[in-house]
Structure 1
Amino acid sequence: MANPFVKAWKYLMALFGSKVDEYADPKVQIQQAIEDAQRQHQGLTQQAAQVIGNQRQLEMRLNRQLADIEKLQANVRQALTLADQAAAAGDAGKATEYTNAAEAFAAQLVTAEQSVEDLKSMHDQALQAAAQAKKAVEQNAMMLQTKIAERTKLLSQLEQAKMQEQVSASLRSMSEIAAPGSTPSLDEVREKIERRYANAMGSAELAQNSVQGRMMEVQSASVEMAGHSRLEQIRASMRGEALPSGG
């Protein structure tokens, strides 16, 4: 039976992780994902380099062993030739020595040829491993490039989302009846202006219909009539000045 405390702890850790993911900056999370992918690719590349290096090392050992085999074969042939020449010359002792030398070279040759067969098998396996490592690196590099391209796309979408959120917030604040805090909304300002205008119109209407308002109308009419009379006097005087003088 599972420990309830361990289960509760795992639940709390999962809940905490989900909350962290919820409030984390998406831009930072995208960059972290790319950095993780780059580290994985770097690690894979290093492993592949070791595999390829092992194959190259086996190849060099194989080439050296093949060169040694050629030398041993040449030594065996040379020893046999010298043994034949000594036998033909009647020198049985030297013939025997050269024959023994040829046998020793032949024994070394057998050992070298067995070693070459083992190296060939190991080298073939190393070649396959190196080819697989190269292919894995190439595939992972393509995946990394895809992720980098996806990062560019996601960052662009993130910026668009931020701008859309700002536009939506602005439109929402403009459409609200009451603005938050001490700043009045446009509807409140409009209502205030209309109320002041209506009050002013009412006051003007009351003043116009009062006795004082009538008196002001009479005074205004008198001033207007006096102004009209004075205007006619000026016109008459101007006409008189324009007439030619007699005598």
Structure 2
Amino acid sequence: MANPLSKGWKYLMASFDNKIDENADPKIQIQQATEAAQKQHQQIMQHASQIIGQQKQLEMKLNRLVTDRDKLQEQARQAIQLADKSANEGDSVKAQEFNNTAEVFASQLVAVEQQLEQTTALHQQAEVAAKDAVAKSKESEMRLKEQMSQIDALRAQADQAKMQESVTKSMDSLNQFGTQDSSVPTLDAVREKIERRYADALGAQELTQNTVSDRMAEIAQSGTDMRASARLAELRAEALGTSATPKGQLEAGVEDAEELIDETSTPSATPETASPEADAPEASADESEKK
């Protein structure tokens, strides 16, 4: 029976890995895949270079052994010739020495030939391995180029997906303004605030228009307009030499305008105090008639 703790730990690790894969940034994963592919290619190239280097080393050793073999063969041949010459001259001691030297050269030659044979076999194996390593390195290079092109395509797709997500998020923010950030007001809240302020302003304006001072200002303005109309009619009549407006109506209009202005300017005055002021326009009108 499996250990529950070990089983639970494996489950947690698998769940944790799954969460990491779900929340991981695709561009980071692409970068990891790129580094892994480059590392693998680098390892293959390094291994191939080592094999080729070993083949080159065996080749140099083989050339050196061939040189040593040729040299020993020449030295052994010269020793035999000198021994034969000494024997023909009757010098048996010298002939024996040359023969011994020739035997030494022959022994060395045998050892070199054995090394040469072994090195030749190793060189052939290394040559085959080097050719295979070169082929694998070329294959790895082609595979790396293909992977890099795929990685570039994936990176472009990741960028496009990220931009699309940004556009979608922006559109959601426009449709539901302020729902993503609690510090930003919503459109409904802003609209309600503006409508409330506008309604308060309309209410204040309505109250202002209904005040006593506002009514007094309207009455005063109306009196001023009446006096201006009457004065304009008088000037027109004087300029044209005609009586466009009867004199009684003109005086009555002036008196009404002055009374209206006086009433608005002194609303708390009594009838006794208002009568002298009301007689002043009549006096001015009589003076104008006398002139």
**What is the TM-score with the length of structure 2 in the denominator?**
0.62
1:182-237 per-residue CA deviation (whole Å, 9 max, x = no partner) reads: 644335545665687789899999xx9xxxxxxx9999988777665555555555
For 1:137 and 1:232, the matched residues in 2 are separated by 114
Deviation of 1:168 (Å): 1.2
For 1:177 and 1:27, the matched residues in 2 are separated by 30
Kindly report which structure 2 residues correspond to 1:168-187, keeping only aligned pairs within 5 A, or say none: 168-176=168-176, 179=179, 181=182, 183-187=184-188
Conservation of the 8 A alpha-carbon contact between 1:178 and 1:188? no
Q: Secondary structure at the match of 1:90?
A: coil
Answer with 45-54 or 144-153: which moved more.
144-153
Q: 1:58: which partner in 2? A: 58
Q: 1:21: which partner in 2? A: 21
For 1:41 and 1:223, the matched residues in 2 are separated by 101
Q: Secondary structure at the match of 1:119?
A: helix
Answer with 160-169 or 180-189: which moved more.
180-189
1:12-70 per-residue CA deviation (whole Å, 9 max, x = no partner) reads: 21111111222233333333333333333333333333322222221121111000001
Conservation of the 8 A alpha-carbon contact between 1:51 and 1:133? yes
1:52-98 per-residue CA deviation (whole Å, 9 max, x = no partner) reads: 22222211211110000010111122122213322332333433433
Task: Classify 1:78/1:204 alpha carbon distance in 2 versus 1 (closer, same or farther; 3 Å).
Answer: same
For 1:187 and 1:222, the matched residues in 2 are separated by 49
Q: 1:107: which partner in 2? A: 107
Deviation of 1:139 (Å): 3.1
Deviation of 1:149 (Å): 4.3
Kindly report which structure 2 residues correspond to 1:196-235, keeping only aligned pairs within 5 A, or say none: 231-235=232-236
For 1:17 and 1:177, the matched residues in 2 are separated by 36
Q: 1:75: which partner in 2? A: 75
Q: Which one-letter code corresponds to 1:19 in the other structure?
A: K
Task: Classify 1:170/1:103 alpha carbon distance in 2 versus 1 (closer, same or farther; 3 Å).
Answer: same
Q: 2:119: which partner in 1? A: 119
Q: 1:243: which partner in 2? A: none
Aligned residues: 238
Q: Which one-letter code corresponds to 1:81 in the other structure?
A: Q
Larger radius of gyration: 2
* Percent identity (aligned): 49
Q: Which one-letter code corresponds to 1:54 in the other structure?
A: Q
Task: Classify 1:184/1:4 alpha carbon distance in 2 versus 1 (closer, same or farther; 3 Å).
Answer: closer
Q: Secondary structure at the match of 1:11?
A: helix
Answer with 66-75 or 182-191: which moved more.
182-191
Q: 1:89: which partner in 2? A: 89
Deviation of 1:133 (Å): 2.5
For 2:35 and 2:132, the matched residues in 1 are separated by 25
For 2:132 and 2:234, the matched residues in 1 are separated by 119
Conservation of the 8 A alpha-carbon contact between 1:51 and 1:130? yes
Higher RCO (C-alpha 8 Å, min separation 6) = 1
Q: 2:130: which partner in 1? A: 130
Task: Classify 1:227/1:131 alpha carbon distance in 2 versus 1 (closer, same or farther; 3 Å).
Answer: farther
Kindly report which structure 2 residues correspond to 1:190-201, keeping only aligned pairs within 5 A, or say none: 190=191
Structure 1 unmatched runs, 5+? 209-215, 241-247
Q: Which one-letter code corresponds to 1:143 in the other structure?
A: R
For 1:178 and 1:26, the matched residues in 2 are separated by 29
Deviation of 1:115 (Å): 1.6
Q: Secondary structure at the match of 1:34?
A: helix
Answer with 138-147 or 119-128: which moved more.
138-147
Deviation of 1:170 (Å): 1.9
